[in-house]
Amino acid sequence: MPGSLIVISGPSGVGKSTVVRRLVERLEATVSVSATTRPQSEQEKHGVDYYFISADEFRRMIEQDELLEWAEYLGNFYGTPRAAVEAALAEGRNMLLEIEVEGAKQVAKRFPAAIMVYLLPPSDEDLRRRLVGRSREGQAQIETRFANAKREIAQARESGVYDHWVVNVEVDRAVDEIAAIVEQRSR
């Protein structure tokens, strides 16, 4: 039986990475490693955090239809290599993608059976508090991130691609809710 493709999206500060890490354990899932043209930081590992590739290589991957989804952000390309996702699903493994709304739209077109989950904050105040708590930036940058997060939530609602909206009040509860959705769809 093929595995499930689970897409997790949400605004900055909502806890996506934490939820995805817990889901990996809970669902015995694999997280897709994205390719990017942005520079590698000292603490990042090629093939673990990202596949760091040249812009020419990324364009070749687009032309050869080797990416499940891709987008350009702040002058850099980001995308999900298709082969690893398809291989994991064919082997019966669950595959998690942590991607933004534009990428999710592309995935939904290619994989109509994908489980599309959008993670929401409990409230605007909570989102603002989370952004402040994780940032070393000034108030102006935090306000910009907050405005971008609100815009992304609106974009997600308008996209029509998300089947499930999970409010991340508490990580374990959000993980339980998403795991139940996956288990129900896998029957």
> Mind listing the pLDDT tens digit for each residue in 110-136?
999 999 999 999 999 999 888 888 767
> Token pair of 94, please?
């669950």
Q: Compute φ and ψ for 38, nearest 5 degrees.
A: -75, 155
The count of residues in the chain is: 187
Domain boundaries, the chain: 5-186
Residue 135 has what pLDDT? 67
**CATH homologous superfamily for the domain 5-186:** P-loop containing nucleotide triphosphate hydrolases (3.40.50.300)
Residue 2 has what pLDDT? 81
Whole-angstrom CA distances from 119 to 1, 56, 69, 82, 162 are 27, 34, 20, 24, 10
> Mind listing the pLDDT tens digit for each residue in 48-107?
989 999 999 999 999 999 999 999 887 899 999 999 999 999 999 999 999 999 999 999
- Look up residue 174 and give its amino acid: A
Angle at the Cα of 32 from the Cα atoms of 92 and 130, rounded to 5 degrees = 125
> Mind listing the pLDDT tens digit for each residue in 158-185?
999 999 999 999 999 999 999 999 999 8
